[in-house]
Chain A
Amino acid sequence: MSDKQHLLDSRQMAEFVARGFLRFDGIVPDEINRAVMDAFEAGGISSYPAGTPFAECYPEPSPIGAMLRLPQVCGILESLVGPDPLFDHHAIHKRLPNEGKAQGMHGDSIIDTRLHFDVQLMYFPHDVPLEMGGTLLLPGSHFRRINEMEVARYQNFLGQIPMVCEAGSILVLHHGIWHCGRQNQTDRMRYMYKIRLNPSVRQLRLWNTDDLDDDTGAHQPIFAGEKRDDVQAILAKLEPWYEAGDGRLEIVNRTLLWRFLTGDEDFDVHYWLTRLENMPENRLSA
């Protein structure tokens, strides 16, 4: 179990629920980054059968294991998928030097209708400048039900994020996030390591919930122009690429996932669900 100081807090969890990812720049020490690069260039790393307990993977000495066992990384993963997740698969993704085009936009695996979620950790062991591409990430796309490469015709969106970062940076993604490998326009190979983990416990208040209180879910004024930065405000923030109508539905999807993760079935954002759930059956007495 991770020390509380390494677990995510509720604002970070709300950010993950809203945008489908969390980003941690330069948190892996250089000595691990260099050892990982040596291992990649020497031919790769061993894999494990899908469903293997994660704790049994990457025994020492393993540079990838050293990265995954960093206290901060353990705390992030435990907050999202619990203390004993299962290894699903991993991959060392390479983008070739001076390649002609980018990978098509896609979501991994197949269409997935669960509220339970897997996480995918992406690790960038070397610097990634813009001309090298970086993984392209579409924030807030994780609730959109699509099947893998069906969205490959979409080239660009307002608010898309090319993962330009220093060595040792990590992205942690909801399994549904849309992404792709951007074109590598340098003469060097680009590497990215990705691992998918499945939860083995119900994803209920796994993070540091010390900052959750009654105010978190209390109804607030709506359409009042009030500027806030609390959990509800994080969950209400629209992405620039959202359509006007579906953007509101994305807030509903976030609210449903927050209810699932906290067990608070009355929680709402912007009164979107409470209004619909109000169906009084009590009759006015004569």
Chain B
Amino acid sequence: MASGKQQRQQLLILYLNTSALDSDVKGWTMYDGTGREHHTTGDSDQRPYATGMDALLDGWRVIQFPQLIPPYPGMEYTTSFKKNEYIFEKLETIDS
């Protein structure tokens, strides 16, 4: 079986205090396409970065900015999913 280098995607999802990328991290999720780490619900009380900007400075690339969507009429005071969801990626090279 041939061996070589392949790229795998690591994903970091940060839920920020406001729509500003440099605002505080309130929640986080990680998926590791290299298979080295296995993250699951409730596995950490320590946020990976204090702000979204800190993730950027550490080499994470933003691949999704949260859209600013006005509330539907009648739903102005309803809360639901987390807002300010930023998705980041890193590409890691692994031996296949």
What is A's interface to B at a CB cutoff of 8 Å?
100-105, 133, 136, 143-146, 150-158, 160, 162, 180, 182-183, 240-246, 249-250, 252-253
Contacts and interface: CB of A to CB of B under 8 A. Distances in A.
B18 A249 contact: no
B78 to A, nearest CB: 6
B51 interface: no
B77 A252 contact: yes
Chain A CB within 10 Å, residue with most, of B16, B42, B44, B47: B42
A160 B29 CA distance: 14
A144 B28 contact: no
A133 B23 CA distance: 30
Contacts of A160: 42, 45
A101 B47 contact: no
Secondary structure at chain B's binding surface: helix, strand, loop or mixed? loop
A101 B38 CA distance: 8
B36 interface: no
A183 B40 contact: yes
Contacts of B91: none
B27 A241 contact: yes
Contacts of A245: 18, 83
Contact of B40 (A101, A143, A145): A101
Interface string B1-39: 000000000000101111000010111111000000011
Contacts, number: 97
B53 to A, nearest CB: 16
Contact of A155 (B23, B42, B77, B81): B42
Given A144-B79, A146-B80, A250-B79, A182 B26 contact: no
B22 to A, nearest CB: 13
B79 A155 contact: no
Contacts of B26: 157-158, 240-243
Q: How big is chain B's contact interface, by range? A: 20 to 34
A154 B77 contact: no
Nearest to B71: A249
Given A180-B42, A252-B77, A154 B82 contact: yes
A105 B30 CA distance: 14
Contacts of B77: 249, 252-253
The 4 closest A-B pairs by CB, nearest first: A136-B42, A102-B41, A101-B40, A155-B29
A102 B42 CA distance: 8
A145 B79 contact: yes
A102 B43 contact: yes
A22 B81 CA distance: 23
B67 to A, nearest CB: 15
Contact of B41 (A103, A146, A249, A253): A103
Contact of B81 (A146, A156, A162, A183): A146
Contacts of A145: 78-80
B79 A156 contact: no
A156 B42 contact: yes
A103 to B, nearest CB: 7
Contact of A249 (B16, B17, B25, B79): B79
Contacts of B78: 145, 249
B83 A183 contact: no
